[in-house]
Amino acid sequence: MALQDTLHFVACHDCAELYPVVSPSAALLDDTSTDGTDAYAEFLAKHRAHRVACLWRSGSEVRADRPLWDPMAALMFEVSDGDRSYVVSASRSSIEDERVYRFTAGALAVGSSEVQIDPRDLRRALDLQFYPHALRPTKIDRFLSVVHEAIHQIDPDHLEIAFDAADDPAVCIAGLPDGIYNEILERCSEIFDPWEFPRVVDFLRDNREADGLLALRVRRHVVALSA
């Protein structure tokens, strides 16, 4: 069961464990869900005499140590009973095991965010833009310095996010804002020779969107707050 499809949990307050609620209709439609249904029934039987309650996903933030598609990713997210919030941690010791869900009173919050680019890919691509000619390394260094100085001014909260990064759940991708793009373009005119500048203009124009090499990676730092 994918995390984004799991909104409802049954929780044992005595053991600080919880388990995703399995929809009977989903189990009937998908034979592969039988093992999950059995595990859910075992959880209910194990905790029948304990203080059991229902919890629901609250908030959209997820902290993970690997991409969400990785079955070995250890996850952290927030749930609530309507009155109180809890932070859930979910992990498994091997690919064959079910995830174990544990919870504690608290909440998830987004701390500081930072805007990044990939300087290695940017350096390599700009160099290829001039093939078979070669750019002096000092010019590429100055170009990267200009880019870094420009994006350092950006307020991450004001960026228009295009999509989440597939390789890192803490990272969102955004295109280069018009003002920053124009600033980089203007400063590049001071770095490159007249015959080089048109190629730089083409490079900036072709790579400024969220799918380009100048795409901004907005890293959000999600922290768990104790109640």
**Positions of the chain with pLDDT lower than 70, given as ranges:** 1-6, 22-36
Q: Which of 65, 86, 110 is the last residue before a domain boundary?
A: 110
Parent domain of 28: 3-110
The four Cα atoms 146, 148, 153, 155 give a dihedral, to 10 degrees, of: 140
Question: Looking at this protein, which amino acid is placed at residue 62?
Answer: V
Give residue 210's pLDDT: 95
Is residue 183 included in any domain, yes or no? yes
**Cα–Cα distance for residue pair 25/48, rounded to 1 Å:** 23
The count of domains in the chain is 2
State which of 54, 77, 110 marks the end of a domain. 110
Say if residue 98 is in the same domain as residue 123.
no
pTM of the model: 0.69
Please name the residues in contact with 215: beta carbons below 8 A apart, sequence gap of 6 or more: 117, 162, 173, 174, 175, 176, 207, 209
Biggest CA-to-CA distance, the chain: 79
Per-residue pLDDT of 130-173, as tens digits, reads 999 999 999 999 999 999 999 999 999 899 999 988 878 789 99
Question: Which pLDDT value is given to residue 33?
Answer: 46
